[in-house]
Amino acid sequence: MIMHKNNRREFVKKLIKVAAITPILANSALNAVADTSNKEYIETVRGKIKSSKIGMTLSHEHILVDFIGAEMYDTGRWNHEEVIKIVSPYIRQIQDLGCKTLVECTPEFIGRDAKLLKKISKETGINIITNTGYYGAADNKYIPAHAYRESSDQLTERWLNEFENGIGDSKVKPGFMKIGVADGSLSELHKKLVIAAAKTHLRSGMVIASHTGPALPAFEEINLLMSQNVSPEAFIWVHAHVEADDSKRYKAAQMGAWVSIDGYSEKEKGKYVNWLLQFKEMGLLNKVLVSHDAGWYSPGEPYGGSFRPFTDVFLSLIPALYKNGFNEDDINQVFVKNPADAFSIKIRNI
């Protein structure tokens, strides 16, 4: 759906209302500098930036997702110009709200298109981070045939090749790994993906974001990584918000893993505020990532289908957090420092 002028006007009205109740638009959090070491960097689709320059970050979103499956996968199924025209206004909305970086979590064979992401980044000026790795959730629908027969070492070589030489002929390098596992105990294939990710991490320093959901596979992944001498600090437990037992999230954070509560929308406000207050209370605010898992352009649907904007975090969650006692440092911690730390290219071994 193309954003109309009226929507834009409505949006600006909302923005002014939010500015009145939260300092976020006017204060330093917007331009906050993460206090990571100067040497640390993040790999964006337009090249390396210092980690301290990441700014306000949405750590799990999607620009384009194609659910057709690995067998039928073809980046020719969408037109760059059309996608750019439809998606850019949604990017500009969050830029107006202070967002500087968007982590695009769509893996290869589900719609990762490095050239497209680079064009959108150039067009809008936002930093975009893309990924390497394979997604095993959804009954392995997005796993390419070669991944069944190849060893973890061979998969590692493929992912490292992208890290070192770029994705295809795009010259765009991935800034993290995105893998995915089913929500039960890890299958042999999914164990292989995790081990390949561990080996890739130890040779690249890319963090491992894994679509996981419940705690059961999350802790199996953490243990498997540790068996490969990879620290839990190199692991992002993606979709951790679906776990019913709150204590599991705090336990993973205490072990050093990144806990990604990335399904935010306005109707989840109460839950997210409570969780974040609890993370703060327990001294674990430095281990949590928050995002919407929103978007995206859907190839095959007219004008890419319906697009969920990336704005609720700014328009409802951050104002609610301020009302509930969060200060600028806390907001800065969750939306600037944590992504800077998580996505910095650095080897985290044990």
Q: How many residues bind Zn ion (CB under 5 A)?
A: 2
**Of the two residues 152 and 298, which places its CB atom closer to Zn ion in the complex?**
298
Q: What's the min distance (Å) between Cβ of 111 and Zn ion?
A: 11
Q: What's the min distance (Å) between Cβ of 64 and Zn ion?
A: 12
Distance CA 78, CA 71 (A): 17
Using CA atoms, how far residue 207 sits from 32, 130, 297, 338, in Å, is 22, 12, 26, 13
Among the listed ranges 98-106, 109-117, 147-155, 160-168, the one in contact with Zn ion (CB under 5 A) is 98-106
Radius of gyration, CA atoms only, the chain: 19
**Of the two residues 105 and 230, which places its CB atom closer to Zn ion in the complex?**
105
**Of the two residues 32 and 294, which places its CB atom closer to Zn ion in the complex?**
294
Interface positions, 236-265, toward Zn ion (CB under 5 A):
none
Q: What's the min distance (Å) between Cβ of 335 and Zn ion?
A: 18
Q: What's the min distance (Å) between Cβ of 262 and Zn ion?
A: 7
**Of the two residues 211 and 249, which places its CB atom closer to Zn ion in the complex?**
211
Give 346's contacts (C-beta < 8 A, 6+ positions apart).
Answer: 40, 205
Q: Evaluate whether 303 touches 86 at the Cβ level (below 8 Å).
A: yes
**Binds Zn ion by CB under 5 A, chosen from 18, 24, 86, 105:** 105
Q: What's the min distance (Å) between Cβ of 60 and Zn ion?
A: 6
Q: What's the min distance (Å) between Cβ of 154 and Zn ion?
A: 26
Neighbours of 9 (CB within 10 A): 10
DSSP state letter for 187: P
> Which letter, b or e, does each residue of 27-53 get, where b requires 16 or more Cβ atoms within 10 Å of its Cβ?
eebbebbbebeeebbbbbbeeebbbbb
Q: What's the min distance (Å) between Cβ of 260 and Zn ion?
A: 10
**Of the two residues 34 and 128, which places its CB atom closer to Zn ion in the complex?**
128
Distance CA 147, CA 132 (A): 14
Distance CA 134, CA 130 (A): 13
**Of the two residues 32 and 290, which places its CB atom closer to Zn ion in the complex?**
290
Distance CA 16, CA 13 (A): 5
Q: What's the min distance (Å) between Cβ of 80 and Zn ion?
A: 22
Is residue 289 within the footprint of Zn ion (CB under 5 A)? no
Distance CA 145, CA 148 (A): 6
Is residue 293 within the footprint of Zn ion (CB under 5 A)? yes
Instruction: Give residue number: closest CB to Zn ion.
Output: 293
Distance CA 127, CA 120 (A): 9
Is residue 276 within the footprint of Zn ion (CB under 5 A)? no
Distance CA 290, CA 312 (A): 11
**Of the two residues 43 and 293, which places its CB atom closer to Zn ion in the complex?**
293
Distance CA 119, CA 142 (A): 25
**Of the two residues 55 and 295, which places its CB atom closer to Zn ion in the complex?**
295
Among the listed ranges 86-94, 150-158, 220-228, 290-298, the one in contact with Zn ion (CB under 5 A) is 290-298
Q: What's the min distance (Å) between Cβ of 50 and Zn ion?
A: 26
Interface positions, 164-183, toward Zn ion (CB under 5 A):
none
**Of the two residues 22 and 260, which places its CB atom closer to Zn ion in the complex?**
260
Give the dihedral sign, CA 188/192/193/197. Answer: positive
Among the listed ranges 81-89, 99-107, 158-166, 181-189, the one in contact with Zn ion (CB under 5 A) is 99-107
Residues near Zn ion (CB under 5 A) are 105, 293
